[in-house]
């Protein structure tokens, strides 16, 4: 990700957040006050930049339209507090940790994140992120409470589709694909596992005898980040680290070194360098067992034979999944891959992971990839074959073929109408102050209370 796109993505998260001090308000300027929530002049600019980035400049929207959208979000946040919507500190902290982990991954360290975005220190960063996440959760839950009983009938779906058709405004749906897989997990030999464990025990002994953990990590660790941080990480119980890593880190005393332990990444030893309240500064050394060329060739040959059996109709793909596949996430689902973004089995070809796209985009429905190797960081090493279960080309919406999508669009529209009606009513009993520079705007709702 480029520096510019990362900045825009980060700034978008800060849209409309209440200024934390009077100096920022004085420098920036207040556009609107909704209840106790402030919209700054810069929030409008940030929204506009993010919109231009996401739509590649294809959507033209005025400052007044942007301001009205932000005001609606602020209205939801304000009344979420009035309605006693609950957001726990633990939920906020979890989201803050997730965001910080993401920024650290992009920039290399927490210190670089703090410096890059101009915060005075880590506490300043965490406080601002906490404000953002709390408000976003309040908005989501207030909106959910308003729309939880909203539903649509088949007739409403049909009417919505007909109206789009009459207006010549039917949506274009991208090409979609359903995929199923058979997986053979690659496991190191017992001899290789013993070699790795012996090496880690040797390193542990050296460090306990006075050698530098940091230097041992730089020389020996398979963690790609070790050259930047010497194997050092700061984590809390909510940090986005693997379960095994956190469990070991929070079971040790300061200065203590763990016994070798296994995770999806490989085998580790870990030392707690410093305990700071709910945080741990830890160093680790990761060694990943090697898979021999002979084991790789054997696995590939087994999978190639399974593929041939399927193509020769000696066994169905689904039966082969049940009999041979070693992937626990898909084995009991007939091998079908789940789209984590939509939580269903359909993938938009234009938004797929590039590596997966390259393997399946040219295949027709019913065709199977050649066996290939995949190494997922934090997961298993494997060989797999993938079946194109179904494939639909990009097309203009059709009522029967795309009923579920049209139903969802109809529901979204009805939910938005519900929120719009609610907001028009709530404006009347909510304190709203609009800067004179924006009083010239023509809004859909009566924000100016004329």
Q: Which of 287, 302, 318 is the last residue of a domain?
A: 287
- Running DSSP on this structure, what letter comes out for residue 257? B
Burial of 342 (0-12, 13-18, 19+ CB in 10 A): exposed
pLDDT at 304 over 50: yes
pLDDT at 11 over 60: no
Q: Which domain holds residue 261?
A: 190-287
Same domain, 425 and 339: no
Same domain, 248 and 319: no
Q: Does 164 map to a domain? A: no
Average pLDDT over all residues of the chain: 86
Same domain, 134 and 10: yes
Structural domains of the chain, count: 3
Query: Tens digits of per-residue pLDDT, 244-283?
Result: 888 999 999 999 999 999 988 899 999 999 998 888 899 9
pTM over 0.75: no
Same domain, 8 and 132: yes
Alpha carbon separation from 131 to 82, 126, 145 (Å, rounded): 17, 9, 21
- Residue reference for tokens 């058979």: 182
Q: Specify which residues 185 forms β-bridges with.
A: 382
pLDDT of residue 226: 82
Same domain, 251 and 355: no
Longest dimension (CA), the chain: 81
- Measure the CA–CA gap between 329 and 112, rounded to whole angstroms: 37
CATH number of residue 345's parent domain: 3.10.50.40
Secondary structure of residue 63 in the 3-state scheme: helix
Q: Does 170 map to a domain? A: no
pLDDT of residue 60: 75
Please report which confidence band the pLDDT of residue 138 belongs to, taking 50, 70 and 90 as the band edges.
very high
Same domain, 217 and 144: no
Q: Does 340 map to a domain? A: yes
Contact 412, 206 (CB under 8 A): no
pLDDT at 66 over 60: yes
Same domain, 12 and 108: yes
Query: Tens digits of per-residue pLDDT, 373-412?
Result: 988 655 678 999 999 999 988 999 999 989 999 999 999 9
Q: Does 446 map to a domain? A: no
CATH number of residue 254's parent domain: 3.10.50
Q: Which of 236, 257, 287 is the last residue of a domain?
A: 287
Secondary structure of residue 259 in the 3-state scheme: coil
pLDDT of residue 28: 54
- Residue reference for tokens 């609606």: 72
Contact 220, 199 (CB under 8 A): yes
Instruction: State the Rg of the chain over Cα.
Output: 27
Contact 222, 273 (CB under 8 A): no
pLDDT of residue 112: 82
Same domain, 278 and 366: no
Please report which confidence band the pLDDT of residue 27 belongs to, taking 50, 70 and 90 as the band edges.
very low
Q: Does 389 map to a domain? A: yes
Alpha carbon separation from 443 to 36, 160, 397 (Å, rounded): 21, 26, 32
CATH number of residue 15's parent domain: 1.10.4030.10
- Residue reference for tokens 């999806």: 264
Same domain, 372 and 425: no
Helix (H), strand (E) at residue 433? strand 432-434
Please give the share of the chain, as a percent, with pLDDT higher than 70.
91
∠ CA 106-107-111 to the nearest 5 degrees? 140
Same domain, 180 and 314: yes
222-226 own/partner pairs: CB under 8 Å, 24+ apart: 222/266, 222/286, 222/287, 222/288, 223/265, 223/284, 223/285, 223/286, 225/108
Q: Which of 267, 287, 307 is the last residue of a domain?
A: 287
Query: Tens digits of per-residue pLDDT, 312-328?
Result: 999 999 999 999 999 88
Same domain, 14 and 128: yes
Rounded to the nearest 10 degrees, the angle between the axes of helix 3-13 and helix 41-55 is 130
Distance of alpha carbon 363 from the chain centroid: 28
Same domain, 54 and 196: no
Tokens of 444: 């859909």
Q: Does 162 map to a domain? A: no
Query: Tens digits of per-residue pLDDT, 194-233?
Result: 999 999 999 999 999 999 999 999 999 988 878 777 778 8
Q: Does 427 map to a domain? A: yes
Contact 367, 126 (CB under 8 A): no
156: CB partners within 8 A, 6+ apart: 410, 414
Q: Does 205 map to a domain? A: yes
Provide the 10 A C-beta neighbour count for residue 374: 16
Alpha carbon separation from 188 to 183, 267, 290, 419 (Å, rounded): 16, 12, 6, 56
Closest residue by Cα to residue 306 from 241, 383, 412, 421: 383
């Amino acid at each position: 990700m480029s520096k510019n796109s990362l900045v825009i993505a980060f700034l978008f998260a800060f849209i409309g957040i209440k200024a934390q001090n009077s100096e920022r308000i004085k420098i920036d300027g207040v556009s609107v006050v909704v209840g106790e929530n402030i919209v700054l002049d810069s929030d409008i600019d940030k929204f506009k930049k993010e919109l231009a980035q996401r739509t590649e400049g294809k959507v033209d929207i005025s400052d007044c339209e942007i301001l009205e959208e932000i005001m609606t979000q602020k209205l939801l946040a304000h009344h979420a507090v009035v309605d006693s919507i609950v957001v726990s500190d633990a939920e906020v902290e979890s989201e803050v940790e997730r965001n910080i982990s993401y920024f650290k991954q992009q920039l290399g360290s927490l210190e670089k994140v703090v410096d890059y975005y101009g915060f005075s220190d880590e506490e300043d960063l965490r406080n601002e992120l906490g404000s953002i996440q709390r408000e976003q959760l309040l908005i989501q839950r207030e909106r959910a409470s308003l729309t939880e009983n909203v539903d649509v009938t088949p007739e409403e779906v049909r009417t919505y589709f007909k109206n789009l058709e009459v207006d010549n405004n039917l949506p274009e749906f991208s090409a979609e694909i359903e995929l199923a897989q058979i997986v053979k997990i690659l496991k190191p030999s017992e001899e290789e596992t013993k070699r790795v464990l012996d090496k880690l025990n040797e390193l542990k002994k050296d460090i306990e005898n006075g050698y530098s953990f940091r230097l041992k990590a730089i020389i020996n660790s398979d963690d790609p980040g070790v050259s930047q941080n010497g194997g050092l990480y700061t984590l809390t119980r909510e940090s986005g680290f693997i379960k095994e890593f956190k469990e070991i880190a929070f079971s040790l005393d300061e200065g203590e070194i763990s016994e070798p332990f296994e995770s999806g990444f490989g085998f580790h030893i870990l030392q707690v360098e410093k305990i700071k309240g709910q945080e741990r500064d830890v160093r680790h050394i990761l060694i990943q067992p090697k898979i021999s060329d002979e084991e790789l060739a054997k696995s590939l040959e087994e999978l190639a034979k399974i593929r041939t059996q399927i193509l020769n109709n000696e066994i169905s793909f689904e039966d082969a999944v049940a009999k041979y596949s070693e992937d626990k996430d898909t084995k009991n689902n007939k091998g079908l891959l789940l789209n984590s973004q939509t939580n269903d089995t359909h993938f938009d070809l234009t938004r797929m992971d590039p590596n997966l796209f390259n393997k399946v985009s040219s295949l027709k429905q019913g065709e199977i990839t050649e066996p290939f190797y995949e190494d997922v960081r934090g997961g298993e090493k494997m060989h797999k074959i993938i079946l194109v279960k179904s494939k639909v080309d990009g097309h203009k919406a059709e009522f029967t073929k795309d009923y579920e999508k049209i139903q969802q669009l109809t529901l979204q529209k009805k939910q938005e109408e519900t929120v719009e009606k609610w907001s028009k009513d709530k404006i009347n009993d909510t304190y709203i102050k609009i800067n004179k520079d924006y009083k010239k705007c023509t809004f859909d709702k009566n924000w100016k209370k004329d």
